[in-house]
């Protein structure tokens, strides 16, 4: 699947993003919850990157990341359950990587889960051995290499 369906979110996308977020079973366990006003703020904030995958009919996935000057942190990546394993998550992460604004790395933190770990390591991220995994993709090494 190409990056053709990936783009920056607009305010018009926020209800779909919020629906995906609220209907995802994993977000119900999260200590921090987002709502429509948060997603609207992220669309307008120049340091946050809210990306969507639009299949031409609807938003089927989104990624929320923060540009932290010399590194990027992926906070949320959600794909509609019936569209998982179709390349949408990979397309969102690849698009984010192409937006590199001088980051040394892109990082993600998640609770240990082999499926999630396999997804990110398959995209070139390295893992640590903590209870909550931080995975890092060394952008500088990739640029040299």
Q: What is the pTM of this model?
A: 0.83
How many CB atoms are closer than 10 A to CB 20?
21
Alpha-carbon separation of residue 52 from 6, 64, 102, 104, 131 (angstroms): 6, 9, 22, 24, 29
Q: Which two tokens stand for residue 92?
A: 């969102």
CATH for 25: 3.40.630.30
Is 79 domain-assigned? Answer: yes
Q: Which two tokens stand for residue 87?
A: 């390349």
Is 110 domain-assigned? Answer: no
Is 41 domain-assigned? Answer: yes
Task: Give the pLDDT of residue 1.
Answer: 42
Task: Give the pLDDT of residue 67.
Answer: 82
Number of domains in the chain: 1
pLDDT tens over the chain, length 145 residues: 445 799 999 999 999 999 999 988 777 666 668 899 999 999 998 778 999 999 999 999 999 999 877 888 898 999 999 998 999 999 999 999 888 767 888 888 776 667 788 888 888 888 776 545 555 556 555 555 5
Task: Give the pLDDT of residue 131.
Answer: 47
Cβ-contact 40, 12 below 8 angstroms: no
Is 91 domain-assigned? Answer: yes
Task: Give the pLDDT of residue 107.
Answer: 85
Distance CA 75, CA 80 (A): 17
Distance CA 39, CA 36 (A): 5
- What residues make up the domain containing 10? 6-104
């Amino acid at each position: 699947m190409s990056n053709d369906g990936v783009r920056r979110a607009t305010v018009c996308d926020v209800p779909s993003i919020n629906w995906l977020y609220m209907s995802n079973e994993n977000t119900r366990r999260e200590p921090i919850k987002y709502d429509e006003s948060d997603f609207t703020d992220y669309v307008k904030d120049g340091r946050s990157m809210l990306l969507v995958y639009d299949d031409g009919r609807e938003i089927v996935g989104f990624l929320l990341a923060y540009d932290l000057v010399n590194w990027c942190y992926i906070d949320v990546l959600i794909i509609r359950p019936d569209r998982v394993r179709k390349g949408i998550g990979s397309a969102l992460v690849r698009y984010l990587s192409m937006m590199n604004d001088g980051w040394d790395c892109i990082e993600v933190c998640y609770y240990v889960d082999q499926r999630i770990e396999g997804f990110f390591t398959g995209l070139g991220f390295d893992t640590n051995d903590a209870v909550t995994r931080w995975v890092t993709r060394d952008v500088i090494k990739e640029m040299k290499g």
